[in-house]
Amino acid sequence: MQLQNSSSKPSEDLSKNHLQDDNMIVENSPAEAIQTWLVTKLSKQLSLNAKTIDVREPLTRYGLDSIDAVTLVGDLEDWLGCELPSTLLWDYPTIEKSAEYLVKEFDVSAAVSPVASSNVKDAGSDKTEKVEASSKSSGWGGLWNRISGS
Amino acid sequence: MHQLKQYWVAEALEKDLGDPTQPESVMSFKSVMELDEREEFPEKDVEWLYNWNLHHYHIPVEYGGELKSYEEFVAFVRVLSRRDLTTSITFSTLFWSGLVWMAGTHEQKQKLAKFIKDKHGAMCLAYSERAHGSDLVGSDVQATKVPGGYLLNGEKWPINRATISGISVVLAKTDDSGGARSLSLFVVDKSEIDPAGYSNLPKIKTLGIRGSDMSGIRFDNCFVPEEMRLGQEGAGLELGLKGFHLTRTLCAAFSLGSADTALRTVLKFALGRKLYGKTVFDIPHPRTTLVEAFLDILVCDCVTIAGARSFHVAPEQSSVSSIFVKYFVPTAVEKVVQNLSVILGARFYLREGHDEGIFQKVVRDNAIISVFDGSTVVNLHALILQLRQMAKYRAKRNAATYEKLRSRLESRFSLEAPLPPCERAKFELFSRGCDDVLQGLEISLEHLYGLKTDASVDAEVLQKLITLTSTVLEELDAQDEFLASSGFEYGHDQSPESFELAKKYCTLHAAAACVHMWVYNRKILGGFFAKGEWLAICLNRLLMTFRPSSGIIPSIYIENVAQELLKLDRENKMFSIVPLQLAQAQSPEEKTHAASELQLQA
């Protein structure tokens, strides 16, 4: 992990898919939206040029090892707002196959619809219950989404 | 017997083994040192443990065994480990039966239970290879599909108990294309395969645990029937990693046993040796070193017990709960042993004297624990990958998740709360952002504020606990903020700064575990534990690395801990938040300590 400044921008601007906001992606199909999300994520977190990522190649080809792949499922869960098998990217090891599987088996509409809500669907709301010694970090809302690219 | 039933097995085993300082006891320091000098496998001691039926406590109740809780399990492994890590580590390869309890078919489970109970069977875990230590996916041992089963080819090395065990749990490649689904696990019963198909590699000479069967196993076109495969083909890595969750936590019991002996041996020396007209214990620096070693053990205790209970209460968090224990406890105990060695001076290096030279054996044996089942670096790396998600989840806590968390915290930390059976099938490769211990810190802080009206709690101590716990929370918030504003990359080239962040998270986690342990067990454990002075010192020590603050701890607190240390030693009790009665060679009345006057530092 390079501890970079958050202001550093992804080096690649995806020409094909315009990312208006993390959760506002205009795509031809849900599967393509998921593919775009995965390509963007990988290019950012493996320091790759997005144009060089082939959705039909195994993810391991790009240096994503087995434990990284499990972690990436966590990011996918946050974005799609549903619980996924932790071994999803082991069992569907290309971007194309995993996107196809997700569209077929899960309701991904909330995240990939043209007018996406900025709130990721979750077990609850974004509001953290206040206790007497409430944490300063509580209730970040969409801050995480804005800075983590998910 | 201790009031907590889950410690009865450990106490009974302790009593039957006898005082290790007495040469006639089973696993006495004298006999384990002799075996170590001869580098001899502790066959008789292992057989004694089987005859005692300790192996039954590795088999779940539903398969005819006695394994009820991992808290109980950790306690008896600690009892063994304080005598001899060679025997403890040898016997404890039975840990690996956990893989079968987790993923085996009903028939496989029944068969394994029978093998352990009727044949006094044991297993080894054959993951590691000469060219691949932590890189499991890189395994070269092949399992080629043939009618009715597989042909195994290749070599596993170095493997504990590879030769002196009836079953080898082998991780092998079943798919040449590589990747996370290319491995499968096989529970290979040597009595059911052609002896020509496998051979054992010679015993390896090691620095510590010298009597261990540290060797290897080689397969040459060895046919293993399909029913020896554990889980689906391709499930090897997933099961292998989940198995580590279990054993990483249990490794802490090895460390805690070592720590107890290291402290007891050095304390005995410090109380008996006179320098400048007083005992070594009466000299401030060594006295403080001994007290701090005791406090560090108490912290490790809280972390370990919370981790062991977590398997029952929050199995979904196994991936991180095991890291907290496996990173923190062995490294902390290594430091404890090193600090204590200073008091012994040149004597720490002697293979004789001071309980048969057991201290140097502890130094050598203990040094391998942090490497077992995923080294310190492997564990920290795995934690780095999950830190962001934990910070995210923490920011999103809400009333509903909070209430569930509150209930889990109580089940996990209240030592009187009954533990549900461990649902091993719920172990997960990642925690989905959950870490109850740190994410529930506000719950215990709130509880501390609530104690302000409780007359049974010393107001000054309570105020210090509130201040220190609030500091832990501030540090956690700051770390979360930092993670939120940092970039992240996958891969093996994680920066040194990331490792430091992960270490800090583990330290904060340890602090939170101590706070919860006190909050939920004040009335249960009572006395010294309930007073909370030890907790204030421990929190201050844990925070010292990033929040140096002198003057917050009055010297009387340290002195009261010193008196507790002496009391436990005098009464022959375990140095622990659950101070079990240890085997006695003589009554406490017969033991006398060198008089140790209260030495208050102004």
Q: Which of A28, A18, A61, A22 is nearest to A42 (CA)?
A: A61
Q: Which of B471, B447, B511 is nearest to A132 (CA)?
A: B447
Q: How many Cα atoms are found within 13 Å in the side-chain-facing hemisphere of B584?
A: 14
pLDDT at residue number B33: 98
Tell me what the mean pLDDT of segment B148-175 comes to: 97
Q: Is A4's CB within 8 Å of B487's CB?
A: yes
- 3-state SS, residue B417: coil
User: Does residue B132 register a pLDDT over 90?
Assistant: no
Buried (b) or exposed (e) across B318-357, using 16+ Cβ within 10 A? bbbbbbbbbbbbbbbbbebbebbbebbeebbeeeeebbbb
Q: Which of B43, B45, B47, B49 is nearest to B9 (CA)?
A: B49
Q: Is B429's CB within 8 Å of A86's CB?
A: yes
Q: Which of B319, B320, B326 is nearest to B376 (CA)?
A: B326
Q: Is B237 on the interface with A (CB under 8 A)?
A: yes
Q: Is B486's CB within 8 Å of A73's CB?
A: no
More confident site: B592 or B306: B306
Q: Is B237's CB within 8 Å of A66's CB?
A: yes
DSSP B526: -
Nearest to A128 among B137, B398, B473 (CB): B398
> Does a cis peptide bond (omega within 30 degrees of 0) precede residue B42?
no
CA distances from B429 to B188, B321, B417, B475 (A): 25, 11, 27, 27
Per-residue pLDDT band at A27 (split at 50, 70, 90): low
Q: Is B473's CB within 8 Å of A135's CB?
A: yes
Q: How far is A54 from chain B (nearest CA, A)?
A: 17
Residue with tokens 């239970």: B113
- pLDDT, tens digit, 9 for 90 and up, residues B189-245: 999 999 999 999 999 999 999 999 999 999 999 999 999 999 999 999 999 999 999
Q: Judged by CB atoms within 8 Å, which residues 169-198 of B form the interface with A? A: 178-181
Percent of chain B with pLDDT over 70: 97
Give the span between the Cα atoms of B12 and B104, in whole angstroms: 31
Q: Is B178's CB within 8 Å of A60's CB?
A: yes
Q: Say how many Å lie between the first and final Cα of chain A, rounded.
A: 17
Q: Is A13 on the interface with B (CB under 8 A)?
A: no
- pLDDT, tens digit, 9 for 90 and up, residues B521-552: 999 999 999 999 999 999 999 999 888 876 78
Residues in A touching B485 (Cβ below 8 Å): 5-6, 147
Q: Is B8 on the interface with A (CB under 8 A)?
A: no
Q: In this structure, are residues B321 and B422 in contact, taking their beta carbons and an 8 Å threshold?
A: no
Q: Which residues contact A132 (CB under 8 A, 6 or more apart)?
A: B442, B445, B446, B449
Q: In this structure, are residues B150 and B212 in contact, taking their beta carbons and an 8 Å threshold?
A: no
Residues in B touching A91 (Cβ below 8 Å): 181
Buried (b) or exposed (e) across B123-154, using 16+ Cβ within 10 A? bbbbbbbeeeeeebbebebebeeeeebbbbbb
Q: Is A148 on the interface with B (CB under 8 A)?
A: yes
Q: Is A63's CB within 8 Å of B429's CB?
A: no
CA B228 to centroid of chain Cα atoms: 30
More confident site: B601 or B484: B484
Give the span between the Cα atoms of A50 and A15, in whole angstroms: 10
Q: Which of B591, B599, B569, B595 is nearest to B582 (CA)?
A: B569
Tell me what the mean pLDDT of segment B10-32 comes to: 97
CA B266 to centroid of chain Cα atoms: 22
Q: Is B439 on the interface with A (CB under 8 A)?
A: no
- pLDDT, tens digit, 9 for 90 and up, residues B358-375: 999 999 999 999 999 889
* Nearest chain A alpha carbon to B177: A58
Of A50-59, A140-149, B34-43, B465-474, which range is least confident? A140-149
pLDDT at residue number A98: 97
Q: Say how many Å lie between the first and final Cα of chain B, rounded.
A: 40
pLDDT at residue number B586: 55
pLDDT at residue number B178: 86
- pLDDT, tens digit, 9 for 90 and up, residues B487-510: 888 888 889 999 999 999 999 999
User: Does residue B353 register a pLDDT over 70?
Assistant: yes
Q: Judged by CB atoms within 8 Å, which residues 97-116 of A form the interface with B? A: none
Using alpha carbons only, give the angle B281, B286, B292 rounded to the nearest 5 degrees: 105
Q: Is A128's CB within 8 Å of B395's CB?
A: yes
DSSP B7-41: GHHHHHHHHHH--TTSTTSTT-HHHHHHHHHHT--
Q: Is the dihedral of CA B527, B530, B535, B537 positive or negative?
A: negative
Q: In this structure, are residues B134 and B374 in contact, taking their beta carbons and an 8 Å threshold?
A: yes
More confident site: A90 or A20: A90
More confident site: B524 or A112: B524
User: Does residue A123 register a pLDDT over 70?
Assistant: no
pLDDT at residue number A24: 42
CA distances from B340 to B134, B345, B576 (A): 31, 9, 17
Using alpha carbons only, give the angle B96, B99, B101 rounded to the nearest 5 degrees: 110
- pLDDT, tens digit, 9 for 90 and up, residues B374-430: 899 999 999 999 999 999 999 999 999 999 999 999 999 999 999 999 999 999 999
Beta carbons within 10 angstroms of residue A124's beta carbon: 14
User: Does residue B468 register a pLDDT over 90?
Assistant: yes
User: Does residue B469 register a pLDDT over 90?
Assistant: yes
pLDDT at residue number A80: 93
User: Does residue B289 register a pLDDT over 80?
Assistant: yes
pLDDT at residue number B526: 92
Q: How far is B499 from chain A (nearest CA, A)?
A: 9
- pLDDT, tens digit, 9 for 90 and up, residues B191-201: 999 999 999 99
Q: Is B592 on the interface with A (CB under 8 A)?
A: no
pLDDT at residue number B545: 87
Bridge partners, B336 (sequence order)? none
